[in-house]
Amino acid sequence: MEYIGIIIVAIFVNNIVYSQFLGICPFLGVSKKVDTAIGMSAAVTFVLTIATLVTFLLYKGILAPFNLQYLQTITYILVIAALVQMVEIILKKISPSLYQALGVFLPLITTNCAILGVALLVIQKDFNLLESVVYAIATSIGFGLALIIFSGVREQLSLTRVPKAMQGMPIALITAGIIAMAFMGFSGIDQVFK
């Protein structure tokens, strides 16, 4: 029951984009087409899960026992950068079209604050290894859900008449705000799992 609570809360109640405002750069940058959003969601899911696992083990195995917690952020950034390079190489070989579609946003996963944020949050929340991995996967599903919903709405908006002053980023930000308010409807569900 505890893991179900972690999953529901991470996806809906404390959505990484709509509640915690992390990962906004790729959220706004890659959300023009659903296909690209799905690819970015998969890449972020892989990097987020592996990064959380590796950084958790580094923290518990090396940083905490040797009182090197002050190196936590720099260590996490290096691990995330290495993982993103690995994903970039794999995508270039497996799916060149997705690699091209993601373009400059793929290297930006390195600086995606959602990935660093989750790696730091699992330590802050004092999760064990399994809870950390479940939280990372659920958070990445929440990120993907937010990105895919938003890209679907943006695709639809591109087919409608929008006043000139509202075209582009203004209507995108207003839309994101409305979707965030819709996600606020899930607040309170987390009380069921306590």
What would the pLDDT profile of 54-100 be if each residue is shown by its tens digit? 999 999 999 999 999 999 999 999 999 998 888 888 888 998 887 88
Amino acid letter, residue 30: V
What is the reported pLDDT for 13? 93
What is the reported pLDDT for 175? 94
3-state class (DSSP) for residue 160 = coil
Say how far apart CA 77 and CA 83 lie, in whole Å: 10
Say how far apart CA 139 and CA 12 lie, in whole Å: 9
